[in-house]
Structure formats: structure tokens, C-alpha cells
Chain A
Amino acid sequence: MAVLSVGQSLPRVDLAAKVTGKAEYVFNMELPGMLYGKAVRSLVPHGEIRAIHAEEARQLPGVVAVATGADLDGLYPWFGPVIHDQCPLAIGRVRYVGDVIAAVVAESEAVAEKAAELVQVECEELPAVLDAYHAMQPGAPLLHPELRLPDTGFTDVRAVLHPEPGTNIVNYFRLRRGDVTKGFAQADHVFEDTFRFPNIQHCPLEPHASIARFEGNGVLRVWSSSQTPYNVQVALAQMFHLPQSRVRVDVPYLGGGFGSKTYPKLEPLAAVLAWKTRRPVKVALTREEEFITVNRHAVTVQIKTGVRRDGSFTAREVRLVWDTGAYADIGPRLVKNAGYASVGPYRIPNVKVDSYCVYTNKPPAVAFRGYGVPKVAVAHEVQMDRIARKLGLDPLRYRLREVVGEGDTFATGETLHSVGYQELLRKCAQEIGWGSKPAPSRAGKVPGKGLSVSIKSTITPSASQAEVRIYEDGSAAVLTSTVEMGQGSDTALAQIAAQALEIDPGRVQVIHPDTAATPYDMTTSSSRSTFHMGNAINLAAEDAKQQLRDAAAAMLRATPADLVYEGGEFFVPSQRERCVSLAEAARGTGTGRGGVTGRGLFRTDGGLDDSGQGKASVFWFAAAGAAEVEVDTETGQVHVVKFVGGVDVGKAINPQSCRQQNEGSIITGLGATLNEELVYDNGQAVNPSFLEYKLPTFLDLPDVLQTVEVETAHREGPYGAKGMGEAAVAAVAPAVLNAIRDAVGAELRDLPVTPEKVLAACAREEGNAGHDRDHNTCQRS
């Protein structure tokens, strides 16, 4: 009996708990004797703390303690993944509106909130830098005069980490391939465009929440809404001078992450407050705090491209300036990964990329689904259409001719594999009805269509470990530190284990992260879990089966090498009727009721040199998008009639989950394209609430939302699978912008595409009054 698991759209295993409200989130957790911490935050973007008056707060009934930077004495106060530039409580200086100055700990959340308002802070305001362009100029006020590097980790960033001393540039990533000067000299046409993108916010419906407790045996236990439990463990061990073995981080379900919950966030503060009060302390953000604690990078993209008369590329030069906010977080890596991705999935012989990660006095910008690529893809794809128009090329045929394929060399010098752009583009174009002009739904609405492609990497090198435990009843537990944050990992990983063990997936339980029990995984992000953890599980299952094979061989009085494992049974092929089941073999190992545990470690290699050459990624996300829009020429309103998002998934472990992830990616992309912007005034967030910050709702969906999954098996992926969870995000905005251009001729260069911007772009287009236009223009009455 062959077990069918991989490739099946099995129902998600986590939904029974989620539809009954029983799924566990840190947000819902309470511990006996638990206190609540609430931050006192900076009201200025940059300042020196002169005095903190907390007497009134301390006297409020129910207040247990007020902690400030002075309470960090004796601890190693610094944390941050790449640069140690953050403290749980400000020491001397605040660097953004919202920076944590002090924290109140109280018996209830309400009292903590009230007391936090009573803490008075005297702050001397310092000159602030509120955008990356000004922040990177010589002589700009410095946020971090010295850079503290952690001892280890983040080798891919460390290899290319170039802060510019005496400036706010925390990393300058450069890529050089060929000779762009020569390339531009060979060009018949040169195109230059600048694009701007604002900050947006992740808006996980579960805001960040962490609980910390020091236990009697000296162990620091933390329950946290984290995508990176092991990274948090290491940071806390260092902060409290504890052996890593005495810090234990648990992660139940996450109510959404989208990158916002990678690396330490609230955990250091919760732990400091628990350390100070010797009681369990929970710190959970309100929605407003969530908006001002992390965001997605604002960035300016300048892209210059040289092409021959036939459209083939001679050179591309990209300059990226990223506003990383007041603390580096993972910005130094993001500017690298989005840096090489900004070249786009095209065959370009001469390439130069300069990507700057710049501190500003704004809340820290962190990882966000798509990791910078949703912005750089807009730049190369909107420009691609501009080139096509200029040269009279069809955007589809032009892309099909120039896009990279199997065996091509990418800008980083590595050879590409499993990048099904041809199939993706053809399918997306077919689904959108490329080449036919739809009829407007009514007068004043102008339809248009647009296409896009994007390319993205995954963290490389990295490592994932898994354990597969097989009990004496034949059931299996999969121990991993992969975080189930909605992406469906519990289901996909169970399917992979079930396939490897040839048992019913219902007999497999995936255990959630607990650093004291589940083995190391670098991170649940970068759409890496299916590929990396899937491989680790396969290795662990093999290891477990090997142990069971030995036991089964003894039971059958055969040599292990002669045994075949099939359908959950060991047997010698010549004696098929004498077989030993998985459960019997587990009993035969003599390990007692605990069963046997197989272990697997999957590790990838790679890295770039100082010219951005080397191996950036173990696999590549290939995505394509196709949009049909209708632009209301009276109001400038853009309605997405249909969106098709396509991703090369390698192999769909669970096809339904893949479609679901693609749907989510598309909706995320549409929000950033049409609605979302976190607005600042003098460093202060102006719209930090769901009333004023417009998340996509049911009413913002396209009439038709369709996904395309193509399967170009990856030779190193489990069953050929690659990651895919965020791949389609980057294909959304460029396809929509190209469709708007197709509809009304409006050239848009910055997101979100508000009606005002559309009307203004239409007016510019009318002013230009080109004669060779084959499209409608806005007719304003």
C-alpha cells in the first residue's frame, strides 16, 4: 500500500482549534501571579533623557515597580540581530517617537496603562533626521556613533557588512558584475526612473506579546509570539549572563507574523521586568503601540537601464536608499537581498547595485513579507514596460525573450535552477486574456492590463534541525522549531513526515517550538520552512527508520540490509508474509514506551563576496503577476477587476495550502499598492490605528482573484518543493501599475496609488500630449 500524502490537499490540521477559538496564542496566555508591563515612550524623535519622575506612578495602588535604563545595571543591555544597538529600556538617549524610556509593572493591565501615563520624563530634544536621504548626508546628526557587533551569527550579512563610520549608513551593500560604463556605452537607449515607497505596517491581528518568568531552578522561561525562538534564546542568555541551556523559549500559535516577529522584540523587556520583580510579567502591545514599534522600510529606488535597439540589455545600475529607522534590526541583510533582487530576473551582462541601509529617527523598519522585493520589482517591471513601449515591443513577448531560465547566470554570478518564468508568464497572460482589450463596465471607466515578474532569494546559508520520534503504537511526533503562524506548516510538515514514514498523516503530530525540547531552526521566515525543515524531517525520518530497521532485522533474523520498508512495514522481499510493522519494530528496539528518535540536520552553504558575487540563495522564488484594472477617469479610483498571481513552487506539498498562501500574498500586495501608508509628521506616526490606516477588507478584493502554481522541481527540495509563502507579493504592485498605465497612460512612481496620484499622473500625461498613444487618457470634467 503506497501512502499518498505529499501532493495532496489535505485539510489543515490547525483549523479545528482555530474555528473553536481554542488555539493558543501568547496574547491569550496568563500565568499564576502574572504582572503586566506597560512602556513609557518617547514623545520626541531624538533626545537626551535628563530625568524620569516616577513617584506618582509608583504610588498608584496596584503598581509593583517602575523600571528605567538604570535597572539594566549588571546586565548586558544590548541586543539586535546584526548590530547590538537596542536596549530594552533607553540608556541616556531616545531615538524615535515611541522608543521605550521606562516601563511600569502592575497587577493589572489597566493599572499599568494608567501608571505609565503618570511617569514624567524630562528630555532634551536633539536634532533629528527624519528621512534616509538627509540622514546619509555628511554632517547629519548621528544616531549611533559606535557600532556594537555580536560575536557570531548572521554570516551572510557579516561577510558583506560595510557600515560607513561617522555617518548614519549602517550597511552599504554593493554588487558589481561586468562593466556598466562599457555597457551603457553600448546602449542605443538609456532609461532612468526613480520610485518611492512609504513605510507600511505588518498589522498582525495578534499584536506582539511576550511573557517571561524566572523559575526557581534558575531557568528563564519565555513564551513569546516569535518567529525566531532560538535567536531570542541566545539574546536573552547573553543579556542575563545565563548559559543558553537555562533560557527556554516557547512559541504557541502566532496570530500572524509577516516578518514583524523575527528576532528579539518585546522579550528582553518582559525578561528585565520579570527579573526586577521576580514575578512572571507579560508585555503585550496595543494596536497603536504595534504601529509605532516596527514597520516596513521606506525606500527610494533609482534604476538606470541600457538597451540595444532590439531591447536586449547592455547594463543596469540601481541605487537604493533604505530608511531603516532608529535601530538596525535585520535591515543590513534586507538591503543586501533586495539589492541583488533589484536587478530583476533578466539576462543583463553589466550590473552595478549600491544599496544603503540608513538610520533615521523613526521606528525601526524590519522584515516584511517579500523582504524589500515588492519595491524593487516595481522599479524594474514598470521600467520594463516603459522600454517595451518605447521600442514597440509587446510586454509579454519582450519578457519571455529576456527573462532568465534554467542554467542562466544571475547578477550574483550563480547559476539559476528551477525558475519557471516561461510557464508562469504564459499561464498568467493566458488567464488575464493578454492581447484582448476588455470592454469598460460603464462610461468613465477605462480598462487596462499589466504583467510583471519578480525574483527573490531565501536566507543562505542557514540550518534546520528536526527530530522524528516513533512511538510503540506506531504514531509519530515531529519535533521542530518551525513556528505555525498561519502559513500551514503544521500540515505540510506532517505530510512530509507521513510520506517518509509511509504512514497516515493523521498519525503524525507536529510539536510547536520549545527551545528546551525542539531542536534548532534558524528562523520561520524567508519562506524557508518547507524546503529546509522538510529536508531535515526527511533526514530524521531516515535516521529513525534505520534504528527500526535494525530492530526489525533482529526480529526477523535477517540482516538489516536485506530488509525493505514499504507501507509502514519491514520485510524481506522473498518472505513478504513475514513482516514487522513500525509499531512492532519500535517495541523491538527495547527503548521502552518512549520509542525511537531520529535526528536530521539540513544545512545550506553560500555567501557573497564584496562585489556581491557568489551564491546568494539555495533556491530562487520565481513569481509572475497579471492584472486587469478599471480606472475611473472622473475620480482616479482604481478597481482591480482581476488579478492572477503565479509562483513556481517546485512541488506543491499541499496544493490547497499553496493556493492559500498565494491568495494571501496577492491581498498583501494589493494593500500596499492601493491603500497602505504609515504617515509621519516630525517622526510621529499620524495614523497608527485601523481607523486611519487602511488594511484591505472584503470590499477591496478584486472581482476575480486567481493563482497559478507551476512545478519546476528543485533538485535539492523535498520532493522537489521550494518555499513559496511570500513569493507572489512582489508581483502585485508592478502588474497593477502597468495595467493603470495601459488603461489611462498614467505613469505612477510612488505607492500607494491613491486616486489623487492617479488624477495628477493623468494630468501630467495630458500635458505631455504624446501623439503616438494607443491608450485612453483621463478625461477630467
Chain B
Amino acid sequence: MTEITIRVNGRERRIAVEAQATLVEVLRRDLNLTGPRESCGQGVCGACTVLLNGRPVSSCLTLAVLSDGADIVTIEGLAPEGELHPVQRAFVEESAAQCGFCTPGMILAAVSLLEDNPNPDETEIREYMSGNLCRCGSYPRVTRAIQSAAARMRVERP
């Protein structure tokens, strides 16, 4: 076991982890954060996406020990309790989720996209988001939600 210190959703946590433990396991098992979900275990589907030092990563491919010292945001910490991030709000308004299992990963990837590119066109959205899978077929609505969130964020946070 190795002790690591990570900042998760704004709170510093010291956790003892096995060398082979992945970040998604530690977040779920030790911190009870079930927003990140291991669906493929290969870094292909994006359901386990978290923001690590502001960048989206597949937490199923990230070893917990290697995230020592990192700042991590999961869907649970994206907005203060009781509030929604503009991207979350846009997902609700555009009905951009169905079963909702992929949704936390989708939203965190979208947040990261909008950090990089506050005004993405449809092609840029599709390319950036292509690492997040949705079997229900919400892609067109997710695309619209990202565009609508982008528009709102440009006004609210110029």
C-alpha cells in the first residue's frame, strides 16, 4: 500500500492505495464517488472520465498512485451542491441524456472542451467528444447542449 494525497472536488484526501489500483476504483470504493463509472475498462468509452489537473482522463486507465498530488474533479464536484454548471443545465434543457450512465463523463469532457475552445463548431464538438460513447443515441442532443452551454458561458463569463 502506498499513501497518496489527492485533492478531490476541492477537498484534500489522504488514501492508502494498492500499487495496481486504478483511480476509478479508488474514487468509487474509498471516496464513494459513483459518478465515474468503469464501463469498458480500456479507456475507450469515456464513462469514467474525470478532470485531473483540469484535463479529462480515463480514470480506469489512470493508476491511483500516479495521481498523487493531483487535483481531481468528478461530476459530484463540478458545481456546488444544489447548483448546476452551465453544461449540466444545458444537458437538462436540451434533453441530452437518456439512460444517463455515460452522462457524467460526457459532461466533464464537454466542460474541458469549452475550456479549450469556448466557441466550438459542430465538427469540433464531434471530434472532441468522439471518445465518449452513448448507446442510447443522445449524440445530436449532446452536440446541441454543448453549443447552447457555450453560448451561455460566453455571455456569463466573457
Enumerate chain A interface residues (CB-CB to B < 8 A). 11-12, 14-21, 23, 25, 27-28, 202-207, 253-258, 286-287, 485-488, 656-657, 660, 663-668, 689-691, 695-699, 701, 705
Known: A21-B74, A664-B138. A697 touches B95 (CB 8 A): no
Contact call A15/B91, Cβ cutoff below 8 A: yes
Kindly report which residue of chain B lies nearest to residue A16, judged by CB atoms: B92
Contact call B136/A486, Cβ cutoff below 8 A: yes
Please pick, from B41, B92, B127, B141, the residue contacting A699 in the complex, using a CB distance under 8 A.
B127
Known: A21-B75, A205-B47, A689-B40. A15 touches B97 (CB 8 A): yes
Contact call A691/B44, Cβ cutoff below 8 A: yes
Measured between beta carbons, the chain B residues less than 8 angstroms from A657 are 95
Bound-state CA distance A190–B16 (Å) is 73
Bound-state CA distance A20–B37 (Å) is 13
Contact call A17/B92, Cβ cutoff below 8 A: no
- Of B103, B126, B137, B143, most buried by chain A (CB within 10 Å of CB) is B137
Contact call B35/A255, Cβ cutoff below 8 A: no
Contact call A25/B101, Cβ cutoff below 8 A: yes
Contact pattern, B 10-51, Cβ under 8 Å of A = 1, otherwise 0: 000000000000000000100001110101111011010000
Measured between beta carbons, the chain B residues less than 8 angstroms from A16 are 92
Measured between beta carbons, the chain B residues less than 8 angstroms from A690 are 40, 42, 44-45, 133
Please pick, from B28, B76, B134, the residue contacting A20 in the complex, using a CB distance under 8 A.
B76
Bound-state CA distance A21–B125 (Å) is 22
**B157 close to chain A: CB less than 8 A:** no
Please pick, from B41, B104, B135, the residue contacting A287 in the complex, using a CB distance under 8 A.
B41
Bound-state CA distance A664–B75 (Å) is 24
Measured between beta carbons, the chain B residues less than 8 angstroms from A660 are 95, 98, 138, 141
A659 smallest CB distance to B (angstroms): 9
B103 smallest CB distance to A (angstroms): 5
A287-B41, A701-B126 given. 4 additional CB < 8 A pairs? Answer: A19-B97, A28-B37, A487-B98, A660-B98
**B147 close to chain A: CB less than 8 A:** no
Please pick, from B34, B79, B135, the residue contacting A258 in the complex, using a CB distance under 8 A.
B135
Known: A19-B103, A486-B136, A698-B125. A28 touches B34 (CB 8 A): yes
A487 smallest CB distance to B (angstroms): 7
Measured between beta carbons, the chain B residues less than 8 angstroms from A19 are 75, 84, 88, 91-92, 97, 100, 103-104, 107
Kindly report which residue of chain A lies nearest to residue B84, judged by CB atoms: A19
Return 7 A-B CB contacts under 8 Å, by A number.
A19-B88, A21-B74, A205-B37, A255-B99, A486-B99, A660-B138, A698-B143
Measured between beta carbons, the chain A residues less than 8 angstroms from B133 are 205, 690, 695, 697
Kindly report which residue of chain B lies nearest to residue A704, judged by CB atoms: B140
- Of A14, A18, A286, most buried by chain B (CB within 10 Å of CB) is A18
Please pick, from B28, B33, B130, the residue contacting A697 in the complex, using a CB distance under 8 A.
B130
**B52 close to chain A: CB less than 8 A:** no
Bound-state CA distance A14–B103 (Å) is 12
Kindly report which residue of chain B lies nearest to residue A656, judged by CB atoms: B95
Measured between beta carbons, the chain A residues less than 8 angstroms from B97 are 12, 15, 18-19, 486
Please pick, from B41, B130, B137, the residue contacting A666 in the complex, using a CB distance under 8 A.
B137
Measured between beta carbons, the chain B residues less than 8 angstroms from A486 are 97-100, 136
Contact call A698/B126, Cβ cutoff below 8 A: yes
Interface residues of B in 71-123 (CB under 8 A from A): 74-76, 79, 84, 88, 91-93, 95, 97-104, 107
Please pick, from A15, A258, A287, A699, the residue contacting B40 in the complex, using a CB distance under 8 A.
A287
Contact call B134/A205, Cβ cutoff below 8 A: yes
Contact call A698/B99, Cβ cutoff below 8 A: no
Measured between beta carbons, the chain B residues less than 8 angstroms from A695 are 133, 135
Bound-state CA distance A20–B84 (Å) is 8
**B129 close to chain A: CB less than 8 A:** yes
Contact call B100/A15, Cβ cutoff below 8 A: yes
Known: A19-B107, A690-B44, A699-B127. A255 touches B100 (CB 8 A): yes
Kindly report which residue of chain B lies nearest to residue A666, judged by CB atoms: B137
Contact call A204/B75, Cβ cutoff below 8 A: no
Count of A-B contacts with CB under 8 A?
Answer: 150
Bound-state CA distance A14–B136 (Å) is 15
Contact call A256/B135, Cβ cutoff below 8 A: yes
Kindly report which residue of chain A lies nearest to residue B85, judged by CB atoms: A19
A190 smallest CB distance to B (angstroms): 39
Known: A11-B92, A21-B75, A205-B101. A667 touches B139 (CB 8 A): yes
Kindly report which residue of chain B lies nearest to residue A664, judged by CB atoms: B137
Bound-state CA distance A27–B103 (Å) is 15
Known: A19-B91, A690-B42, A697-B130. A204 touches B99 (CB 8 A): yes
Bound-state CA distance A695–B107 (Å) is 20
Bound-state CA distance A205–B103 (Å) is 10
Kindly report which residue of chain A lies nearest to residue B98, judged by CB atoms: A486
Measured between beta carbons, the chain B residues less than 8 angstroms from A25 are 101
Contact call A664/B35, Cβ cutoff below 8 A: no
Contact call B34/A667, Cβ cutoff below 8 A: no
Bound-state CA distance A14–B133 (Å) is 20
Contact call A205/B129, Cβ cutoff below 8 A: no
A726 smallest CB distance to B (angstroms): 11
Please pick, from A27, A207, A664, A698, the residue contacting B136 in the complex, using a CB distance under 8 A.
A664
Kindly report which residue of chain B lies nearest to residue A202, judged by CB atoms: B135
B72 smallest CB distance to A (angstroms): 14
A724 smallest CB distance to B (angstroms): 14
Kindly report which residue of chain A lies nearest to residue B28, judged by CB atoms: A28
**3 closest residue pairs by CB, A with B:** A21-B35, A18-B100, A255-B101
B59 smallest CB distance to A (angstroms): 13
Contact call A253/B99, Cβ cutoff below 8 A: yes
Contact call B135/A205, Cβ cutoff below 8 A: yes
Bound-state CA distance A256–B33 (Å) is 21
Contact call B42/A205, Cβ cutoff below 8 A: no
Bound-state CA distance A667–B137 (Å) is 6
Bound-state CA distance A744–B76 (Å) is 51
Please pick, from A11, A27, A689, the residue contacting B95 in the complex, using a CB distance under 8 A.
A11
Bound-state CA distance A308–B102 (Å) is 52
A212 smallest CB distance to B (angstroms): 20
Kindly report which residue of chain A lies nearest to residue B125, judged by CB atoms: A698
Measured between beta carbons, the chain A residues less than 8 angstroms from B84 are 19-20
Bound-state CA distance A696–B139 (Å) is 10
A26 smallest CB distance to B (angstroms): 11
Bound-state CA distance A443–B45 (Å) is 35
Contact call B41/A256, Cβ cutoff below 8 A: no
B81 smallest CB distance to A (angstroms): 9
B27 smallest CB distance to A (angstroms): 11
Measured between beta carbons, the chain A residues less than 8 angstroms from B79 are 20
Please pick, from B41, B75, B141, the residue contacting A663 in the complex, using a CB distance under 8 A.
B141
Kindly report which residue of chain A lies nearest to residue B108, judged by CB atoms: A21
Bound-state CA distance A16–B84 (Å) is 9
Bound-state CA distance A488–B137 (Å) is 13
B137 smallest CB distance to A (angstroms): 3
Known: A20-B75, A25-B101, A486-B100. A203 touches B95 (CB 8 A): no
B28 smallest CB distance to A (angstroms): 8
Contact call A256/B76, Cβ cutoff below 8 A: no
Bound-state CA distance A71–B132 (Å) is 42
Bound-state CA distance A666–B97 (Å) is 16
Contact call B42/A689, Cβ cutoff below 8 A: yes
Contact call A705/B95, Cβ cutoff below 8 A: no
Known: A21-B75, A21-B104, A287-B39. A488 touches B98 (CB 8 A): yes
Bound-state CA distance A287–B40 (Å) is 5
Bound-state CA distance A19–B149 (Å) is 14
Contact call B95/A15, Cβ cutoff below 8 A: yes
Known: A14-B100, A256-B136, A486-B100. A205 touches B91 (CB 8 A): no
Contact call B141/A286, Cβ cutoff below 8 A: no
Please pick, from A27, A253, A487, A705, the residue contacting B37 in the complex, using a CB distance under 8 A.
A27
Kindly report which residue of chain B lies nearest to residue A207, judged by CB atoms: B39
Contact call B143/A205, Cβ cutoff below 8 A: no
Bound-state CA distance A18–B143 (Å) is 17
Bound-state CA distance A323–B121 (Å) is 44
- Of A14, A17, A666, most buried by chain B (CB within 10 Å of CB) is A14
